[in-house]
Amino acid sequence: MFSFIEIKKSLLTSIWFMFLTFPIMVIRVNTIYKTVEWRWSRMFWVGAAAFFLSFLWRYLMRRREASVHKAESETEPKKPFWVHLREDPRIARPVLGLMAIFFLSIPLLFSWHKMTIMTNALIYAVIALGLNIVVGLAGLLDLGYVAFFAVGAYSYALLNYHFGIGFWMALPIGGALGTFFGILLGFPVLRLRGDYLAIVTLGFGEIIRLVLENWNEFSFGPSGIDNIPPPGLFGLDLTLKQTHVFIYYLMVALTLFTIAVVRRLKDSRMGRAWIALREDEVACQAMGIDKTRTKLSAFALGATWAGMGGVVFAAKQKFINPYSFTIWESILILCIVVLGGMGSIAGVVIAAILLIILPESLKVFSDYRWLVFGAVLVMMMIFRPGGIVSDTRRAYELKTPDRKLG
């Protein structure tokens, strides 16, 4: 039960909030008739809402503290449900089967608009899985990741415009160019870490965007490039709806391929080197791990998926310009990685779907949907700081056989 002091704190919070919002919510000046309207009823609702939210906040914080103390007191902490899901095939196989049926049936169950939104979510899932290598596994804060996304998109658009290269040939080329630019970025930042690394990568992303915006002879400047052809299917003449359905299934396949590759990389020797670099860079180097090679491999492989995602994005949108690759795209992709769980593959995919679908679902709130969206992110980061699916630390135990004497 709440004490009188906590109720008093919530009451003071509501009074303070009423005082702050008084000029905006209560006073309304009509400049035409030169009158002042006093809307006192709004003051009551603002105070009631502030008191309720403060009361709810304190209740949730108390529950969170109680759960933390309970977890610390337990000798053997309970495994999260996703660990049981991964370890128990009797649960994992039916769940994965139902998920596969659901994703394959989306074009049949939902409208064209919702299918297009899901396609965008899968594109961002692939790109975020690439950033998850750099930020989640290697611990290198990259705020200019959208630059590799732009490289992939413009590589397909320009190659098709000048040389008539199709989608299937441009897809590996876009990935290769992303790898090249990832290495190009990796070399100058080998000695940087933390905030300095974030500033340099942010500058790199802005340089790419400004080059695309001002070099008219190369990238057509702010006008962008249109009439980008979609991916073909054995030379068949597809309608517009069939093309979008094909792109959706293509993204499902590319997402599964990305998950498989990133999971193998995470469990490989290189993946363990990334995690060691993230935990302690000095200790990592002292253990004999090549720090230069580890950082460059993280930047290169992370940028590869951004390049391929950019190619699919250009083919789907059929039009790109520099304003599609601003700093806010990098921030959104970074939010996906952090919200999903640093280093967690399943969490990143879930967060990508939520962060792309949630703003569209909140259209009923009209102008307040981004406020609600931001509040959801804040609540998530407070009560689930490890992300939706936090990455579990693996423990290796060496067991020796018992030897009988005699």
- Express each pLDDT in 268-279 by its tens digit: 888 888 888 888
Secondary structure (3-state) at 139 = coil
- pLDDT for the residue 53: 80
Give pLDDT, residue 128.
92
pLDDT tier at 367, thresholds 50, 70, 90: low
Q: Dihedral of CA 127/130/206/163: which sign?
A: negative
Which range in 43-47, 78-82, 296-300 is most confidently predicted, on average pLDDT? 296-300
Q: Residue 358 pLDDT > 90, yes or no?
A: no
For the chain, what percent of residues have pLDDT higher than 70? 86
For residue 234, the SS3 value is coil
pLDDT band for 406, please (50, 70, 90 cuts): very low
**Per-residue exposure over 166-192, b if at least 16 CB sit within 10 Å of its own CB, e if not:** ebeebbebbbebbbbbbeebbeebeeb
The two tokens of residue 134 are: 């750099």
Summarize pLDDT for 210-242 with one digit per residue, the tens.
998 888 888 888 888 888 888 877 777 777 788
CA dihedral 149, 228, 349, 91 (to 10 degrees): -150
Return d(Cα 69, Cα 236) in angstroms, integer: 62
Residue 322, both tokens: 């520099």
- Work out whether the CA dihedral 250, 255, 256, 257 comes out positive or negative: positive
Q: Count Cα atoms within 13 angstroms, Cβ side, for 101.
A: 6
Q: What DSSP string describes 39-64?
A: -HHHHHHHHHHHHHHHHHHHHHHHHH
Classify residue 303 as exposed, middle or buried by CB count within 10 Å of its CB (0-12, 13-18, 19+): buried
Q: Which of 402 and 385 is assigned the larger pLDDT?
A: 385
Which pTM was predicted? Answer: 0.79
β pairing state of 35-38 and 27-30 = antiparallel
pLDDT range class, residue 72, cuts 50, 70, 90: low
CA 119/CA 122 separation, integer angstroms: 5
Instruction: For residue 361, count other CB atoms closer than 10 A to its CB.
Output: 13
Q: Report d(CA 131, CA 146) in Å as an integer.
A: 10
* Cβ contact 213:202 at 8 Å: no
